[in-house]
């Protein structure tokens, strides 16, 4: 019995030892598997980092290659050397500077016997290089009477050369900056129709619609005859054409545009569509009518219409507003600036027909006193440019004389 008891105790001890060994083995196996899993995760993360670095390097190389090829082989626009631009702008003299934007400074000059505006990419402009490439690609491919004409570029130094718009921006005219005087209602109606026409042209580009994304009075330029032209398409984006216009959307990783003009739905969701520009268009129309800042403008105009005091909202620098026609433009502008994209009207089918009727009405009531309200005689700036506008830099004069 004692021997049997010892054997039983030995068996129990052996089983306990085996059980403990199995447990230790399982723990060891789990630890090895955990270590292997951690190593695999680390390897995957390292691979992701390597892939991201390779992708970034490839993007940089592709951008450099595209810019280089644009500068060397793209014959859709005139290629200027940096020396030509430096001479024309008197080495970017402050006296030649006519503007400053997020992209960089703008200089007035004279190139190829033509007044021109040179926009220069600032070295610290974070998105400037991609905007430069985008603007060259778009403007070198399109021509429209209501789009600013790209004369040429200097890709190596990030310079864009445009036709010179001697009457500045619509914003300058609306807020009467500098020596500008108030535009007549006839010219305001015509400018509204021209902006709508130019924007529809962008939206109807093939094979994909083009959304401007930064439409505002500062980006509407006026030539010497006060014909309006849309500029600054560096932020424009192509959107897929596969969906109907009313619901065409394209998700962007980050929104772009200017506060008060940017589509609220696009700002909240990142979903871009051609009706994102319609919101901006509505705000511009309200400013054309009122001459007021964009902040809260839709609310103020709506309240004035409800109270029957709309005529008081109209720009008082224009003495002879046709209130009924102005009200029709204000109503379509308010529809354009609806918060929900689906509530905004179609540009080609609804908005532009009204704008064209207002333009015809303005043409029928046009007078011979120039673009300004209250001018007793024709404005010379409509038919000719001043000597200052056509002035040559000293070095350019000598080259022309020779």
Domain annotation covers residue 249: yes
Same domain, 125 and 185: no
pLDDT score of 264 more than 80 = yes
For the chain, the first-to-last Cα distance in angstroms comes to 131
Share of the chain above pLDDT 70, in %: 80
Distance CA 153, CA 142 (A): 15
Distance CA 235, CA 212 (A): 7
Q: Which of 172, 214, 263, 315 is catalytic?
A: 214
Quote the longest CA-to-CA distance of the chain. Answer: 135
pLDDT score of 332 more than 80 = yes
Distance CA 40, CA 356 (A): 66
Q: Which of 211, 208, 230, 214 is nearest to 162 (CA)?
A: 230
Same domain, 243 and 95: no
Same domain, 152 and 220: no
CATH number, domain with residue 219:
1.10.510.10
> How many structural domains does the chain have?
2
pLDDT recorded at residue 67 = 61
pLDDT confidence of 125, banded at 50, 70, 90?
A: low
Same domain, 248 and 210: yes
Cβ neighbors of 83 (< 8 A, separation 6 or more) are none
pLDDT recorded at residue 373 = 56
Three-class SS of 192-240 = HHHHHHHHHHHHCCCCCCEECCCCCHHHEEECCCCCEEECCCCCCEECC
pLDDT recorded at residue 19 = 87
172 is catalytic: no
Domain annotation covers residue 36: no
The mean-pLDDT minimum among 46-55, 72-81, 306-315 falls in 72-81
pLDDT score of 191 more than 80 = yes
Same domain, 359 and 327: yes
Report which DSSP code applies to 352.
Answer: H
CATH number, domain with residue 82:
3.30.200.20
Distance CA 124, CA 119 (A): 15
pLDDT confidence of 194, banded at 50, 70, 90?
A: very high
Place of tokens 């600054």: 232
pLDDT recorded at residue 69 = 60
Q: Are 358 and 224 in contact (CB under 8 A)?
A: no
Same domain, 174 and 231: yes
Q: Which domain holds residue 121?
A: 78-164
Out of 133, 164, 195, a domain closes at: 164
pLDDT score of 326 more than 80 = yes
């Amino acid at each position: 019995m004692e021997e049997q008891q010892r054997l039983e105790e030995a068996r129990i001890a052996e089983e306990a030892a085996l059980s403990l060994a199995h447990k230790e083995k399982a723990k060891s196996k789990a630890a090895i598997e955990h270590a292997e899993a951690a190593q695999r995760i680390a390897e995957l993360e390292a691979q992701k980092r390597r892939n991201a670095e390779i992708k970034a390097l490839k993007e940089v190389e592709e951008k450099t290659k595209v810019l280089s090829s644009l500068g060397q082989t793209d014959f859709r626009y005139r290629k200027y050397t940096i020396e030509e631009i430096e001479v024309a702008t008197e080495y970017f003299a402050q006296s030649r500077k006519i503007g400053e934007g997020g992209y960089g400074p703008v200089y007035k000059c004279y190139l190829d016997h033509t007044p021109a505006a040179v926009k220069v990419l600032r070295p610290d402009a974070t998105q400037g290089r991609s905007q430069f490439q985008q603007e060259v690609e778009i403007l070198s491919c399109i021509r429209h009477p209501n789009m600013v004409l790209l004369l040429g570029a200097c890709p190596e130094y990030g310079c864009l050369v445009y036709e010179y718009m001697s009457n500045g921006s619509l914003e300058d005219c609306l807020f009467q900056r500098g020596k500008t005087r108030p535009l007549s209602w006839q010219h305001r109606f015509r400018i509204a129709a021209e902006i709508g026409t130019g924007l529809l042209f962008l939206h109807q580009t093939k094979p994909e619609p083009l959304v401007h994304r930064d439409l505002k009075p500062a980006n509407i330029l006026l030539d010497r005859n006060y014909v309006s032209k849309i500029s600054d398409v560096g932020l424009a984006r192509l959107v897929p054409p596969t969906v109907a216009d009313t619901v065409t959307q394209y998700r962007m990783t980050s929104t772009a545009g200017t506060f008060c003009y940017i589509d609220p739905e696009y700002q909240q969701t990142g979903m871009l569509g051609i009706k994102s520009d319609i919101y901006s268009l509505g705000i511009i129309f309200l400013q054309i009518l009122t001459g007021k800042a964009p902040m809260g403008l839709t609310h103020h105009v709506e309240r004035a219409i409800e109270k029957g005091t709309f005529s008081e909202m109209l720009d008082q620098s224009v003495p002879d507003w046709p209130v009924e026609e102005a009200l029709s433009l204000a109503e379509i502008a308010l529809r354009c600036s609806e918060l929900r994209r689906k509530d905004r009207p179609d540009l080609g089918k609804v908005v532009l027909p009204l704008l064209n009727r207002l333009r015809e009405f303005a043409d029928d009531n046009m007078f011979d006193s120039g673009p300004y309200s209250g001018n007793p005689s024709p404005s010379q700036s409509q038919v000719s440019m001043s000597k200052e506008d056509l002035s040559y830099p000293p070095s350019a004069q000598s080259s022309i004389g020779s």
